[in-house]
Amino acid sequence: MELTKAEEQLMEYLWQQGKAFLKELIEAFPDPKPANTTVATLIKRMSDKGFVGYQLFGNSRRYYPLVDKNDYYARQVNGMIRNSFNDSAVQFASFFTRSAHLSENDLKELRKLIDSEIKKKKK
Q: Where are the domains of the chain?
A: 5-65, 69-122
Query: Would you say domain 5-65 falls under CATH 3.40.50.720?
Result: no
Q: Which residue in 57, 66, 95, 87 sits closest to 1, CA to CA?
A: 66
Amino acid 123: pLDDT: 80
Phi, psi (5° rounding) for residue 19? -140, 140
Rounded to whole angstroms, how far apart are CA atoms 12 and 34? 15
Peptide bond into 34 cis (omega under 30): no
CA distances from 33 to 13, 30, 37, 61, 102 (A): 13, 6, 11, 20, 35
pLDDT digits (tens, 9 = 90+) for 6-34: 999 999 999 999 999 999 999 999 999 99
pLDDT digits (tens, 9 = 90+) for 34-85: 999 999 999 999 999 999 999 999 999 999 999 999 999 999 999 999 999 9
